[in-house]
A = this chain, B = another copy of it.
């Protein structure tokens, strides 16, 4: 059975039970599901059902489910809990998850949670919280196992047996010196296949670098992807080991970054809760619509410059959205491509010129192609060759401008510290609308004036 249909069955069963009001059945079903699946159910439920489902969970289940919930939903469910109920729920979360969560909750709750932790855990949490959420330090956990270079594998293995537990997703032991500075990694597989007399120093890998704690999460993700890492050590500015990052947290970063581009280009937040309340959603989205209304008004202002021409030749009004629309489409292709390439780190000084020239050439060729088509169509439709020539010329011009703008906007925005995934498409559409209407109606005004 596929994952999808499994969810579907669970979701439908829960909905039926909720609709029938048989909470005991729902509770029974929830008891049989793994935490990740319950979290997915909560995220796929409208506010009322989500609230009911959450209340039906035992405290133990709530703790389990919390670590799988998306940030926005998690904060929504926990925000209104009194601290004495909150602390037992969240104190067992992974250090990095807990640090993220505390940053979203009121100050007072944070200090109560910190006070409730034992000294060692508090120190670890404070260390993670001292780094911004989107850096290596903010991503790391502190559950590292360290060994010294001079000991033998026999000793390592006795140590591990006495310890009795190795944290999830541990592929390497981390080798440190007396001052706890990172010097290399010892793959667990080497401990398994090597002679017990081998020393850590002989078998450790020193070609693997540790990640500085202030390195941006984006760079960490690229590093994991490029080197196919499962875990990586994190060090402070003195090279002292402070924690480790595991691939599951990196996968979250990759997912969030991808979501950020996709959602950002539609003016949405990547954490947007699909089933959030109407009011919350309206507030978030209205700003974006307001900004776009301004750009549409700018286009109208351009059109109004040509009222006289429009009055004389109403065919212009019929055709004018075409040039602007094609410019927007062509420009957003370039924009999307460049934003993706920048996210992958492919756009650098050395190749910007090539990229720009290539996109201009693509814009010009596509402009010519579709200018012929629309020029012929317009000339036949309105039985007016001049009109065909006007729209064809405006089309070529706007598609070249669109390509140039699509390539330059994200590069320029990045230099100015603006996120092109968020602001790029608004600026692009404004340019392609203004240029599209101006070129088409302007050319028409000149040509018809000279003809009449």
Contacts and interface: CB of A to CB of B under 8 A. Distances in A.
Contacts of A290: 370, 373
B329 A292 contact: yes
Contacts of A15: 350-351
Contacts of A194: 161
A346 B297 contact: no
A247 B275 contact: no
A293 B370 contact: yes
Nearest to A295: B325
A160 interface: yes
A24 interface: no
Interface stretch (A5-13, A56-64, A85-93, A116-124): A5-13
Interface in A345-380: 345-351, 354-355, 358, 361-362, 365-366, 369-370, 373-374, 377
Interface in A287-333: 288-290, 292-293, 295-297, 299-300, 303-304, 307, 310-311, 314-322, 324-326, 329-330, 332-333
Contacts of A112: none
A262 interface: yes
Contact of A285 (B303, B333, B348): B333
B289 A366 contact: yes
Nearest to A188: B188
A166 interface: yes
Chain A's interface size range is 35 or more
Contacts of A107: none
A253 to B, nearest CB: 11
Given A258-B255, A341-B274, A289 B329 contact: yes
B192 A157 contact: yes
B329 A274 contact: no
Interface string A255-293: 100110111011110001011001001100110111011
Contacts of A304: 318
Interface stretch (A125-133, A218-226, A443-451): A218-226
Interface stretch (A36-44, A76-84, A237-245): A36-44
Nearest to A169: B230
Contacts of A344: 43
A202 interface: no
A338 B194 CA distance: 52
A322 B296 CA distance: 5
B193 A161 contact: yes
A337 interface: yes
A400 to B, nearest CB: 13
A345 B300 contact: no
Contacts of A178: none
A349 B8 contact: yes
Most buried by B among A191, A266, A433: A266
Contacts of A295: 325
Contacts of A274: 337-338, 340-341, 346-347, 355
A292 B326 contact: yes
27 contacts: A3-B223, A37-B226, A40-B226, A44-B351, A45-B351, A157-B192, A164-B193, A170-B189, A171-B230, A188-B188, A228-B248, A230-B230, A261-B262, A266-B335, A267-B329, A274-B347, A282-B365, A286-B366, A288-B329, A289-B366, A293-B374, A296-B321, A296-B325, A297-B377, A311-B314, A321-B321, A325-B429
Interface of A: 2-4, 7-8, 11-12, 14-15, 34, 36-37, 40, 43-46, 68, 157, 160-161, 163-166, 168-171, 188-189, 191-195, 215-216, 219, 222-228, 230, 247-248, 250-251, 254-255, 258-259, 261-263, 265-268, 272, 274-275, 278, 281-282, 285-286, 288-290, 292-293, 295-297, 299-300, 303-304, 307, 310-311, 314-322, 324-326, 329-330, 332-333, 335-338, 340-341, 344-351, 354-355, 358, 361-362, 365-366, 369-370, 373-374, 377, 429, 433, 437
Q: Which 7 A-B pairs have the closest CB atoms?
A: A258-B258, A15-B350, A266-B336, A317-B317, A3-B219, A166-B189, A228-B248
Given A3-B222, A191-B192, A275-B354, 5 more contacts: A4-B219, A8-B349, A44-B346, A161-B192, A262-B336
